[in-house]
Amino acid sequence: MKGFVPTPLPVVDLMVAKLFDKMPPTPEDTLLDPGCGRGAFIDGIIRWCDKNNQKIPRIAGVDSDPNHIVIACEKYSGYPSIQIRHADFLLQALGRKFEFIIANPPYVPITGLTKQEKREYRTRFHSATGRFDLYFLFFEQALHCLKKDGRLVFITPEKYLSVKSASQLRIILSEYSIDEIDLIHEQSFRNLVTYPAVTTITHRKLDGPTTIVFRDGNTKSVEMPKDGTSAFPSLYGKTEKKAGYCTLGEICLRVSCGVATGVDAVFVHKKNGIPRNLKKYSFPTITGRDLSLNSYVVQSDLEMITPYEANGKLIPESQLGALKEFLLIPENHCRLLKRTCTAKKPWYAFHENPPLNQILQRKILCKDITEKPFFRIDESGEIVPSHSVYYIIPKNPDHLEVLNDYLNSSEVRLWLESNCQRAANGFLRLQSTILKQVPVPFSILENGWLSGQKTSLLHGPEDSANIAVNG
Ligand SMILES: C[S@@+](CC[C@H](N)C(=O)[O-])C[C@H]1O[C@@H](n2cnc3c(N)ncnc32)[C@H](O)[C@@H]1O
């Protein structure tokens, strides 16, 4: 059963209302529900038609799961205009087009697909690029099935608006009119789906802006980018590269996520819990939780045992010595072998090789998820940050303090609030792709950053309004 998450009734009714808004269906119209499951949307359409005294259109529900099909077939056996079909929507052609399409497609990340599925999808779908998700392909396939002037309403994670792997999907969508993106409440699926977005599309050449309905109820009209770049700057703010500015990525050696061991229970321990004979392999580490807005001190009582040499190379197994004995303790060994993220690596390697030769120097640290972004300097240069911390190393070490002061300025905070993806409860997700785009005025690198100095990172009245909304 791939990606079965039933749509809650209030969300179904909201989506059906959007589908038929100013476009009520006639009994001759055709409607497709791909991935229909047990018929949550079909029930919603019947409810809407009853309430609005309309006859139901001709509905086709398609699902690849035979168990759902049995339930749906039985449920709609008394409705001659509803057909339930057992088929793979992505691989079997339906042979016709529809006036209306509504779906909650399966959300299945690439890691949930078999090798053969990945290969097949990559050859069939333009949107199957990078670390694609199955719902990208449902979007693409459904758009092929949409009649001219037909309407489609999909609920998916909002991620497709910003992630790199969805850039091809965004290019495909740019050929249609994206009428509205309703960023519905985070808890709509309890905790099952993060950041749901209800997208309403009409099959006609894009002829106007898209209405964005934000989670706080505010709305905004935006021009969606047509070149596959992230839509987030259009949604949450707008930055132009101005003369006199570079980006943080351009002046840094690294703007990276901390070290992912793949199994912290084996490698990360309290300082006093690490046996003396393993001390030479361990480095102080820090998690996002240990960084505090109220303190400039960067410390924790945790250490990370690392089977890596100072140059970042994995220590050969034959030279692990006491560390090998520790890693072979049955509890540790079992945890190490259970990892799937390191399948093609030596059994004791981290999820990613840590570039210790670069990490082990003075650097700027920040939490990956935070209510208010702030930055702190690791003065010791000895900390190997964990994966819930980002680290920033300027190419010129002399820029460390000035950059840290600047990153802690209200200007940068407003920029991050306008450009970062949202995590739960309105917290910000500080990904490296976004951090690398933080505009940095050349002048501060030459003359230093005076606290209270004002720069103009955000332009135009629309941006200031947006900050008030999101700030
Ligand atoms: C998120 S559930 C939504 C179910 C139902 N529409 C609802 O809203 O409650 C996605 C559905 O897609 C179906 N599905 C997954 N892959 C499919 C495929 N390749 N072709 C057709 N259906 C598929 C699953 O079996 C599941 O029922």
Integer Cα distance of 324 and 355 in angstroms: 21
**All structural domains of the chain:** 9-229 (3.40.50.150), 246-470 (3.90.220.20)
Mean per-residue pLDDT for 150-171?
A: 93
Closest to 376 in 3D by CA, of 344, 403, 413: 403
Distance 408 CA to ligand 1 centre (A): 45
The C-alpha angle 8, 231, 183, rounded to 5 degrees, equals 20
Report the nearest atom of ligand 1 relative to the CA of 33. 6
Q: What are phi and psi of 281, to 5 degrees?
A: -95, -5
Task: Give the Cβ contact number of residue 182 at 10 Å.
Answer: 20
Residue 170 has pLDDT above 90, yes or no: yes
**464 pLDDT more than 80:** no
For the Cβ of 90 lying below 6 angstroms from any atom of ligand 1, the answer is: yes
| Whole-number Å distance between alpha carbons of 249 and 433 | 9
Ligand 1 neighbourhood includes 192 CB (under 6 angstroms): no
- The reply to whether ligand 1 has any atom less than 6 angstroms from the CB of 35 is yes
Q: Which whole-number Å values give the CA distances from 218 to 74, 211, 212, 468, 469, in the listed order?
A: 42, 10, 8, 11, 7
The per-residue pLDDT for 245 is 83
Ligand 1 pocket check: which of 1, 16, 64, 75 to mutate, most ligand atoms within 8 Å of Cβ? 64
Q: Give the tens place of pLDDT for each residue, 351-407.
A: 888 999 999 999 999 999 999 999 999 999 999 999 999 999 998 898 999 999 999
Cβ of 36 closer than 6 Å to ligand 1, yes or no, is yes
Which residue's CA is minimally distant from atom 27 of ligand 1? 37
276 CA → ligand 1 middle, Å: 54
Q: Quick check: CB of 119 below 6 Å from ligand 1?
A: no
pLDDT in the model for residue 462: 30
113-142 mean pLDDT: 96
pLDDT tens digits along 14-56:
999 999 999 999 999 999 999 999 999 999 999 999 999 999 9
Ligand 1 centre from 234 Cα, in Å?
31
Task: Mention every residue, 6+ apart, whose C-beta is less than 8 A from residue 452.
Answer: none
Nearest C-alpha neighbor of 29 from the set 63, 3, 54, 1: 54
Q: In which band, very low, low, confident or very high, does the pLDDT at 144 lie, cut at 50, 70 and 90?
A: very high
> In sequence order, what DSSP letters do the residues of 266-281 get, joined into one string?
HHEEEGGGS-GGGGGG
> What confidence score (pLDDT) does residue 467 get?
28
pLDDT of residue 3: 66
Which pTM was predicted?
0.62
- Atom 14, ligand 1: residue with shortest CA distance: 35
C-alpha closest to that of 258 among 164, 392, 376, 380 = 392
Evaluate: CB of 106 within 6 angstroms of ligand 1. yes
Give 232 or 130, the one with higher predicted confidence.
130
Residues 63-81: pLDDT tens digits? 999 999 999 999 999 999 9
The verdict on the CB of residue 5 being under 6 Å from ligand 1 is: yes
The SS3 of residue 252 is strand
